[in-house]
Amino acid sequence: MSADDAADFESAMVRLEQIVQELESPELALDRALVLFEEGLALGNRCTQLLEQARVRVDQLLERQDGSAEARPFEAPEGS
């Protein structure tokens, strides 16, 4: 993930949090809720894409004990 992608991911996450807060408002009009929901879906898809790109890069960068490169699948730590 490049620095631009990381910034894009972070800004998307901030915006998603804002959308969730606004969607939780009991006074929110249906039309506005639908617009926010659509924006949230698009942002979620972009975040998923960026995370997949980062996962591929991690797979490519993992190294063996002897320092030689080895591509192996990324395994998330237990409990995450």
Q: Is residue 72 part of a domain?
A: no
Could you give the number of structural domains in the chain? 1
Q: What local confidence, expressed as pLDDT, does residue 76 receive?
A: 62
State the DSSP string of 1-14.
--HHHHHHHHHHHH
Domain that holds residue 19: 3-61
pTM of the predicted model over 0.85: no
Q: Is residue 66 part of a domain?
A: no
Low-confidence ranges of the chain (pLDDT < 70): 1, 63-67, 69-80
Q: What local confidence, expressed as pLDDT, does residue 59 receive?
A: 76
Q: Is residue 44 part of a domain?
A: yes
Q: What local confidence, expressed as pLDDT, does residue 64 receive?
A: 59
Q: Which sign, positive or negative, has the C-alpha torsion 49, 12, 18, 31?
A: negative
Q: What local confidence, expressed as pLDDT, does residue 65 receive?
A: 58
Q: Is residue 52 part of a domain?
A: yes
Q: Is residue 68 part of a domain?
A: no
